[in-house]
Structure 1
Amino acid sequence: MTLVNYQAMTLKELRRYVLTHREDISAFHAYIDRSKSEGRMITINPNDENWEEQIQQAIIQDGDE
């Protein structure tokens, strides 16, 4: 089995890798950890009446990058 260096990948490359290697749980964890550390993860409060708008804004911002 080939060892993959997740740290050498950009976040975009790592995302692509995770999507094509869905069985690689270590890659998934690396992606989530890196996304959190780079401020790419969002949290919502379902009790907030504007939660849908927050998600839409996050999607728009993600598409701009």
Structure 2
Amino acid sequence: MSQVDYAAMSDPELKQYFLEHREDEVAFQAYLQRRRRRSSGVIAKVGDPDFDLKIEAAIRQKLQKALG
């Protein structure tokens, strides 16, 4: 069996590969690692007096980043 280069795969390709090869533990770990890297930290906690402002600021920041 040839060595699979997970790093060369895009996120959607890696996800599809894992879904088609569920027995591949290394692919699963590579997928989880990418998911953890993408996840963002806590923006605000429930009960925070500035909750709405922090959420709105995070949304604006993501939109600006997406629009370049």
- TM-score grouping bracket, smaller chain normalisation: 0.5 to 0.7
Structure showing greater Rg: 2
In structure 2, give the amino acid aligned to 1:39. Answer: S
Please tell me whether the aligned partners of residues 11 and 35 of structure 1 are also in contact (alpha carbons under 8 angstroms): no
* Structure 1 unaligned regions, length at least 5: 41-65
**Cα shift readout 1:7-62 (whole Å, capped 9, x = no counterpart):** 0001110000000001100000000001110128xxxxxxxxxxxxxxxxxxxxxx
Kindly indicate whether residue 20 of structure 2 is the aligned counterpart of residue 20 of structure 1. Answer: yes
After TM superposition, the score normalised by the length of structure 1 is 0.58
Q: Does 1:30 find its partner at 2:30?
A: yes
Aligned residue for 2:34, secondary structure, equals helix
Gaps of 5+ in 2: 41-68
> For this pair of structures, how many residues does the alignment match?
40
**TM-score, normalised relative to structure 2:** 0.55
Identity %: 45
Give the corresponding residue for 1:7: 7
Read off the aligned partner of 1:5 and give its amino acid letter. D
Q: What is the alpha-carbon root mean square deviation over aligned residues?
A: 1.3
Contact 1:15 1:31 in 2 (8 A): yes
Distance (whole Å) between structure 2 residues aligned to residue 4 and residue 38 of structure 1: 22
